A and B are shown apart, each in its own frame.
Chain A
């Protein structure tokens, strides 16, 4: 597995760049663990100061140091994204594998449910959710709710892989040799499924973080927890552009774009690596 990573980094430019970009953002957010500043405190430093050597990302109108603020914001946002990705993977894998392996009416009913979830636009439901819970809506419950909507597409993908694997020769041989189905699933099939899980998890992260940012910007989440979205909300609230504190918006947007582009490149290069046909195409003189 490490040799695969090493090969990818060395020869696949997209993967390498993606890794670097995402790595930078992760490092930045990890800094929040050593922050001397309490992220929920306001009016700690002089407000509206442009980026300088003292304050690398400037300060905002609420009197907070943008650097540490954003470190926390990204930590929370990334954790959020990972949580959603994690839980939605569980559902997607469970549904996809069950449907693919067991087939029959289980498959049909699961796919029916999946198609229903695909068609439901999640945004109104998220807004309803915030609306009824107001400030009781914390990150975890939102994450769980989004996980309930982020699995259908990937479940279908995993199901088709499971269908393919089920009928492959080596599965039948293993079964014939007496290996239990569960053991087959974990030892023989998982290596095929894992790369897909990784790349869909990355795409899922982009989706969930984007949605969280959108909700927060509109003011529809708990505004006291610093995340990328809430930062932008407060910036708007204080008319950052009119007042002139452009860095309040520009810096988080720039970092978010870096994160997204990085995740996207990783997902795309992983996808291409998995696909055997694209490997053949890349050979050539």
Chain B
């Protein structure tokens, strides 16, 4: 038990380091901008109506202080870090003066839910199918599946999402292609709402699943092809152990361990894929928010989304790392 706690502590330190570095990079990139948010607002205000120069100067001073831009860069950085701890990213430009964080928190559950469901389905179904394909190498059905997977796997998220929009938006409109839930259903913890959410998430989730399943299938199949040559599998086979037991507990179970590691490594890109898919389906998650923010020139929100996504992905990796010793007894004794 003590070893496990030590292990968890090490991983936690790594988590903190990742979040820190990632957010710092985001901060640095954000402040490369030649355009300051203050100027953007001033431009918007002066574009709408004429204002006296004194009013503009006061506005500029107030805004500069509001955005914390009246101090040198390193001090801005320190402020940023301080605010990071309380998750304060300043006001959002696109919904001034609502704090950027609020907008993010509204959108986060949608993205999180979609990501979680889609990833769990993709990972388990893809791996099991791949495992069977790797073991029963002569099965026609599984070989066909493999060829389909090779064809689909390299297609980027965007294109699959787009194709789904075309098919279900224009050719066969049976599923909703935009929004998170029906417009005439009230938000809340009701069954009606829940069903509506599920109904509206079918297409975006399908896009994620279609793209992701190929990768896991092919990876697992390759992994299993190697595992079946291992001594303990050969031994069990020639000892006459029941085939179901071999496929389940000797082959797939052993292959899932590296696949779990792989999941941790690819979470970053799965997250990116989710963001893009959301944008295509106008799903009310971080993706749509991000595009709105970029188009609105809102550094605060973009920075907030970047930092929150870094934190989320890093935390998810942390959790997966913690799961590792539980499924692989060899790691436990390290």
> What 1/0 mask marks residues of chain B from 138 to 152 whose CB sits below 8 Å from any chain A CB?
000000000000110
Is the pair A128, B26 in contact by a Cβ cutoff of 8 Å? yes
B302–A120 contact, CB under 8 A?
A: no
Closest residue of A by beta carbon distance from B22: A120
| Min distance, Cβ A130 to any Cβ of chain B, angstroms | 7
Q: Could you say which of A116, A119, A122, A133 contacts B272, with CB atoms under 8 Å apart?
A: A122
Stretch at the interface among B57-65, B195-203, B243-251, B310-318: B310-318
With A124-B290, A241-B170 as contacts: A119 and B156 at CB distance below 8 Å: no
Shortest beta-carbon distance from B8 to chain A in Å: 16
Mark the stretch among B27-35, B46-54, B71-79, B232-240 that contacts chain A.
Answer: B27-35
- Flag if A119 contacts B290 (CB, 8 Å): no
**Beta-carbon nearest neighbor of A262 in chain B:** B154
Flag whether B190 is at the interface (Cβ < 8 A).
Answer: no
Decide if A125 touches B154 in the complex (CB within 8 Å): no
A132 touches B30 (CB 8 A): yes
Q: In chain A, residues 240-263, which have Cβ atoms closer than 8 Å to a Cβ of chain B?
A: 241, 249, 253, 256-257, 260-261, 263
The reply to whether A261 and B158 contact each other, CB–CB distance below 8 Å, is no
Q: Interface size class for chain A?
A: 35 or more
Could you say which residues of chain B place their CB within 8 Å of the CB of A153? 265
Between B159, B170, B279, the greatest number of chain A beta carbons within 10 A of the residue's beta carbon is seen for B159
Indicate whether B226 reaches chain A with its CB closer than 8 angstroms.
yes
Given A112-B17, A213-B156: A132 and B272 interface contact (C-beta under 8 Å): no
- Is A79 an interface residue, CB under 8 A from the partner? no
B238 to chain A, nearest CB (A): 17
A213 to B: closest C-beta gap in Å: 6
Q: Does A192 contact B (CB under 8 A)?
A: no
Contact between B22 and A260, CB atoms less than 8 A apart: no
Count A-B pairs with CB separation below 8 Å: 135
Q: Is B25 an interface residue when CB atoms closer than 8 A count as contact?
A: yes
**Interface assignment of A121: CB less than 8 Å from any CB of chain B:** yes
Chain B residues lying within 8 Å of A211, measured Cβ to Cβ, are 272
Q: A121-B309, A123-B272, A257-B155 are in contact. Are A220 and B294 (CB under 8 A)?
A: yes
Q: Does B102 contact A (CB under 8 A)?
A: no
Interface of chain B, main secondary structure: helix
Compute how far the CA of A38 lies from the CA of B157 in the bound complex, rounded to whole angstroms: 31
Q: Is the CB of B299 within 8 A of A120?
A: no
Asked if A12 is at the interface (CB within 8 A of a chain B CB), the reply is no
Residue of B nearest to A207 (CB): B269
Q: Mark A132-173, 1 if CB is under 8 A from B, else 0.
A: 111000000000000000000100000000000000000000
Q: Is the CB–CB distance between A128 and B30 below 8 Å? A: yes
Residues of A within 8 A of B267 (CB): 121
- Hey, which chain A residues are within 8 Å of B17, CB to CB? 112, 116
A118 and B272 in contact, given A124-B310, A131-B302, A132-B29 (Cβ under 8 angstroms): no
B162: chain A residues within 8 A (beta carbon): 249
List B residues 1-57 near A (Cβ within 8 Å): 14, 17-18, 21-22, 25-26, 29-35
Roughly how many angstroms separate A217 CA and B96 CA in the complex, as a whole number?
A: 28
A sample of 20 inter-chain contacts (CB < 8 A) reads A116-B18, A116-B22, A118-B265, A119-B18, A120-B22, A120-B313, A121-B272, A121-B310, A123-B271, A128-B302, A131-B294, A131-B297, A131-B299, A132-B30, A153-B265, A214-B156, A214-B272, A257-B159, A260-B154, A281-B225
Q: When A and B form their complex, which 6 residue pairs have the shortest distance between CB atoms, in order from nearest?
A: A260-B154, A123-B272, A124-B306, A132-B33, A121-B268, A210-B156
Q: A121-B309, A131-B297 are in contact. List 5 more A-B contacts (CB 8 A).
A: A119-B22, A124-B302, A125-B25, A127-B306, A214-B276
